[in-house]
């Protein structure tokens, strides 16, 4: 069974390892540990049968939230974990935020399809946003 919960200190090493596996310029373990202690940040973990399979992190400023990073373990992709993380994040932010923003590589068609299916709307492009390889980012927004 899939469950979403707030991250704990014991999750940080696993989150950082999945981040490193998933992204060319990953956040560090220290950065995730720092996020865990900030009141304006939220870090959620998806678990299936007690094992972590994904995470999402966002921060909120002036009633606008930005997803910093989201990843699902390769063996758990297309299992609903990403959708569940996004839904749980929107629910958790609903009283404190009016909108959620995120950036995604223009070439990441599966993620873009997921965001669109969850009522995120394309609102712009950030030219040369990503490195290794260099690529534009599509900016999405969801009203909550």
- Cα torsion angle, 42, 33, 50, 52, sign: positive
Mean pLDDT of 113-117: 97
Task: Write out the residue range of the structural domain in which residue 34 sits.
Answer: 2-143
The H or E element that residue 67 is part of is strand 64-72
pLDDT interval class at 100 (50, 70, 90): very high
Which pLDDT score, from 0 to 100, does residue 79 have? 92
Closest CA to 109 of 128, 90, 135, 87: 135
> What is the domain count for the chain?
1
pLDDT in tens, 51-90: 999 999 999 999 999 999 999 999 999 999 999 999 999 9
Residue linked to tokens 């390889």: 133
> For helices 81-93 and 109-117, what crossing angle results, to 10°?
50
Bridge partners (DSSP) of residue 65 are 60, 100
Q: Encode burial over 26-63: b for 16+ CB neighbours within 10 A, e otherwise.
A: bbebebbeebbeeeebbbbbbbbeeebbbbbbbbbeee
Instruction: Quote the pTM value.
Output: 0.94
Query: Where does the pLDDT of residue 37 fall: very low under 50, low under 70, confident under 90, or very high at 90 and above?
Result: confident
Residue 115 confidence (pLDDT) above 90:
yes
Token pair of 135 as six digits: 């690529």
Measured in degrees and rounded to the nearest 5, phi and psi for residue 15 equal: -60, -45
Kindly report the CATH number assigned to the domain that includes residue 16.
3.40.630.30
Q: How distant, in Å, are the alpha carbons of 5, 78, 131 from that of 42?
A: 11, 23, 25
């Amino acid at each position: 069974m899939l469950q979403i919960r707030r991250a704990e200190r014991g999750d940080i090493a696993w989150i950082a390892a999945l981040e490193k596996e998933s992204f060319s310029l990953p956040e560090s373990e220290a950065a995730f540990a720092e996020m865990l202690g900030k009141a304006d940040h939220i870090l959620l973990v998806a678990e299936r049968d007690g094992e972590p399979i994904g995470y999402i992190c966002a921060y909120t400023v002036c009633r606008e939230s930005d997803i910093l990073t989201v990843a699902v373990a390769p063996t758990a992709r297309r299992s609903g974990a990403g959708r569940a993380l996004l839904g749980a994040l929107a629910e958790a932010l609903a009283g404190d935020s009016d909108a959620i923003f995120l950036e995604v590589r223009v070439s990441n068609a599966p993620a873009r399809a997921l965001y669109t299916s969850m009522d995120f709307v394309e609102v712009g492009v950030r030219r040369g946003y990503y490195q290794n390889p260099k690529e534009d980012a599509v900016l999405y927004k969801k009203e909550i």
